[in-house]
C-alpha cells in the first residue's frame, strides 16, 4: 500500500495508530494555543496473555463493546492495549468515561468468557506532554495490581465502586521493561513534532482493500480512503459531552465539489473515482481527517477551533482542491463552515445541515460561513459581516 494511504482501521475494528497520529496532529495546535485540557485513557484486558489463540477474538470483542455501549471508537496502540483520547476533557471527565468503559466490558461475556479490563487515566494540557502516556500506563498497572476490573485516575486513585472490585485482589506481575519501553515508544512517536517535509509528487492513491475490514465496521471509505459518515457520527457523539461540559469550541467544514457530475460524463466513472481519491488525499494532507458525507462532498471536524480559525482551514482546503486541476480538468469546491459556540452543545445533524447549506449557497470556488456572505475567489470578502483571516 503506498504511503499516501492512511491505514484507518486495525484488524480488531478499532482505529489504528496511524489514525491516532492523524487525530493528534489535527488537534495539537488548538490545545497548545488555547490551553485546552485533555485526558488519555489506556485500557487493557486483564490477563490477556493467558488466553492464547483466543486473544485476537477477545481484542475484537472489547473494541466492539466499547463502540456499542458508549459510542466511542478506541485506537489500538499495541498488541494488547487500546487508548481513548479526550480533547477538552479533564481528569474527572476521563475518570467518568473510564468507569463506563470498565463496566461496559464486564457487563456480559465476550467470546464466551467473562472478560474484564483495567483502565488508566491521566490528564494534561496538551498532546505534547511526554509524560501523559507513562502516567496513564502507571495508573493502568496500579489497577491490575489491585486485582483488575478497575478504573484508576493517575492523580485521584481508584474510581471503581468498591462493591464491584474483586473481593480478594490478586497481585499481577509488574510490567516488563520491554512493555514499558513499548508504551513510551508509541507515545513519543505520536507526539514528536518535525518540520513538514517539502511537497513532492506522490503516487496515485490506492483505496484500501475492503475485504480486509469487517463489513459491520464501516469506517474507512473503500473508494476514497477517507472516513465514512458513520465514523463522523461516532466522533461527533463522543465530542458532544466535552463541548457542553468544558466549553470546547467546535466547527464543521463541508467541501462540496462543483459540477462533479461533468467529470464522470466527460471522462468516465473511473476518472471520477480517481478525482475523489485525490481530493481526500489533499484534504487529509492539511492535518485534517476527511469524512465523506456525500457522493462528492467531504467534511472536516475541528475540535477547539472557532469560526474564524475554521474559516482559515476551509480556505486552505478550497485552495488545495483547486490546485488539483489539470489542463483538461478544472476542479473547484464550494465550502461551507458551521461553528458551535463554547458550551452551546454539538448536534451533528443540525451542524452538518448548516455547513452543507452554507456550501450550497456559496458561489463556485468560494468559502461561505454559516449566516454570512461568501468570500470571492482569492481570499476573504471585504463585505461587512464576513470574517477576515489574518
Distance CA 330, CA 225 (A): 22
pLDDT grade for 70, boundaries at 50, 70 and 90: low
pLDDT grade for 222, boundaries at 50, 70 and 90: low
Is it true that 17-191 and 218-375 share their CATH fold? yes
For residue 116, is pLDDT > 50? yes
Per-residue pLDDT of 344-379, as tens digits, reads 777 888 999 999 999 999 989 999 998 765 554 444
Least confident of 19-28, 155-164, 216-225: 216-225
Average pLDDT, the chain: 76
Report domain extents, the chain.
17-191, 218-375
Query: Check: CATH 3.40.50.300 for 218-375?
Result: no
Which is more confidently placed, 70 or 370?
A: 370
Whole-number pLDDT of residue 81: 92
DSSP calls for 225-272 = SSEEHHHHHHHHHHHHHHHHHH---EEEEEEEETTTHHHHHHH-HHHH
Please state, in angstroms and as integers, the Cα–Cα distance from residue 285 to each residue in 199, 202, 280, 382, following that order.
10, 12, 9, 29
Per-residue pLDDT of 261-316, as tens digits, reads 888 778 876 788 888 888 888 887 776 778 888 888 999 988 777 788 888 889 99
**Residue percentage of the chain with pLDDT more than 70:** 72
Which is more confidently placed, 68 or 20?
A: 20
Whole-number pLDDT of residue 191: 62
Distance CA 379, CA 22 (A): 27
- 17-191: CATH class: alpha beta
Q: Are 46 and 147 within 8 A, CB to CB? A: no
Whole-number pLDDT of residue 246: 65
> What number is the average pLDDT over the span 316-341?
89
Which is more confidently placed, 318 or 16?
A: 318
Q: Are 263 and 333 within 8 A, CB to CB? A: no
pTM, to two decimals: 0.57
Whole-number pLDDT of residue 260: 86
DSSP label at residue 188: H
Per-residue pLDDT of 153-183, as tens digits, reads 998 888 877 666 655 444 333 444 444 455 5
C-alpha cell at 292: 465523506
Please state, in angstroms and as integers, the Cα–Cα distance from residue 36 to each residue in 31, 189, 249, following that order.
5, 22, 10
For residue 210, is pLDDT > 60? no
pLDDT grade for 2, boundaries at 50, 70 and 90: very low
For residue 200, is pLDDT > 70? no
Whole-number pLDDT of residue 390: 25
C-alpha cell at 150: 478497575
Amino acid at each position: 500500500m503506498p504511503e499516501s494511504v492512511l491505514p484507518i482501521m486495525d484488524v480488531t475494528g478499532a482505529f489504528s495508530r496511524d489514525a491516532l497520529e492523524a487525530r493528534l496532529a489535527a488537534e495539537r495546535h488548538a490545545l497548545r494555543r488555547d490551553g485546552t485540557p485533555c485526558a488519555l485513557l489506556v485500557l487493557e484486558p486483564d490477563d490477556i496473555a493467558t488466553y492464547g489463540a483466543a486473544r485476537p477474538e477477545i481484542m475484537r470483542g472489547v473494541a466492539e463493546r466499547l463502540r456499542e455501549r458508549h459510542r466511542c471508537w478506541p485506537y489500538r496502540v499495541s498488541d494488547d492495549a487500546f487508548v481513548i483520547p479526550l480533547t477538552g476533557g479533564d481528569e474527572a471527565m476521563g475518570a467518568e468515561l473510564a468507569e463506563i468503559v470498565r463496566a461496559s466490558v464486564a457487563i456480559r461475556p465476550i467470546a464466551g468468557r467473562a472478560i474484564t479490563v483495567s483502565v488508566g487515566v491521566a490528564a494534561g494540557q496538551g498532546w505534547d506532554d511526554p509524560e501523559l502516556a507513562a502516567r496513564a500506563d502507571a495508573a493502568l498497572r496500579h489497577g491490575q495490581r489491585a486485582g483488575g476490573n478497575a478504573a484508576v485516575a493517575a492523580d485521584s486513585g481508584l474510581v471503581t465502586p468498591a462493591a464491584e472490585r474483586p473481593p480478594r485482589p490478586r497481585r499481577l506481575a509488574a510490567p516488563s521493561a520491554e512493555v514499558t519501553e513499548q508504551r513510551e515508544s508509541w507515545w513519543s512517536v505520536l507526539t514528536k513534532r518535525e518540520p513538514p517535509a517539502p511537497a513532492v509528487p506522490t503516487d496515485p492513491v490506492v483505496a484500501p482493500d475492503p475485504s480486509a475490514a469487517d463489513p459491520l465496521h464501516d469506517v474507512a471509505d473503500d473508494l476514497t480512503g477517507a472516513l465514512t459518515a458513520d465514523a463522523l457520527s461516532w466522533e461527533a457523539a463522543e465530542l458532544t459531552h466535552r463541548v457542553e461540559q468544558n466549553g470546547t469550541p467546535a466547527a464543521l467544514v463541508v467541501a462540496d465539489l462543483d459540477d462533479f457530475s461533468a467529470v464522470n460524463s466527460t471522462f468516465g466513472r473511473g476518472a471520477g473515482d480517481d478525482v475523489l481519491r485525490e481530493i481526500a488525499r489533499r484534504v487529509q494532507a492539511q492535518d485534517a481527517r476527511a469524512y465523506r458525507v456525500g457522493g462528492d462532498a467531504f467534511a472536516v471536524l475541528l475540535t477547539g477551533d472557532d469560526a474564524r480559525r475554521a474559516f482559515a482551514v476551509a480556505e486552505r482546503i478550497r485552495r488545495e482542491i483547486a490546485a488539483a486541476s489539470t489542463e483538461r480538468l478544472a476542479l473547484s469546491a464550494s465550502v461551507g463552515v458551521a461553528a458551535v459556540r463554547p458550551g452551546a452543545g454539538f448536534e451533528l445533524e443540525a451542524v452538518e445541515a448548516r455547513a452543507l447549506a452554507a456550501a450550497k449557497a456559496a458561489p463556485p470556488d468560494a468559502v461561505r460561513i454559516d449566516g454570512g456572505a461568501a468570500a470571492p475567489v482569492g481570499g476573504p470578502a471585504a463585505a461587512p459581516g464576513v470574517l477576515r483571516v489574518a
